[in-house]
Chains A and B, each alone.
Chain A
């Protein structure tokens, strides 16, 4: 079935360093790729998304890249700060299900001060 693989499962970085989280999807019809951040005890919140007609999108310290051929997409966080510590989920969605998401397993990011 459709699935999304996400790596790494945990990631520790020093404050100020960059963090990269990678995802691979299986359904070639996927055309929307959101990233959600879930802080401890809080709701998952959208931080950035990308559609299949673009290869890269940036919002301040966060960027997402998409390689449709390889079915890879990645989240890049630069100049990490302690408040970036959270669990990050990637997801892929196709037009088939009105934004029914297939999520990755999550990455726990720890930014060490």
Chain B
């Protein structure tokens, strides 16, 4: 069974540009989470989807970040316009509807804003 996949693995952009990160959760997982790790700090919650609905977006830093989950399958996280402080590793995780607690993480998308 395929795990959570994220694309791209690494993106380098200039300040002010736009980047879109994509996450494909494990098939059948209704819960999808986005997290971010800024270098040396904690992995911080951004938001949580249940199917296509945003359950909790309390961790989204500001309105430059837009997350969508089309049809309750894959999700995208768009940063527009990107700022230097947006650099970090963006992790996606998923879990089934009958969640036991374990989140299944992707390998992350490293974003570098110059």
Contacts and interface: CB of A to CB of B under 8 A. Distances in A.
Contacts of B3: 43
Contact of A103 (B4, B44, B56, B106): B44
Contacts of B55: 97-98
B51 interface: no
Interface in B25-71: 31, 33, 35, 40-45, 48, 50, 55-56
Interface residues of A, number: 26
A105 B56 contact: no
Interface stretch (A12-20, A44-52, A72-80): A44-52
A4 B42 contact: yes
B95 interface: yes
Interface in B86-104: 91, 95, 99, 101-103
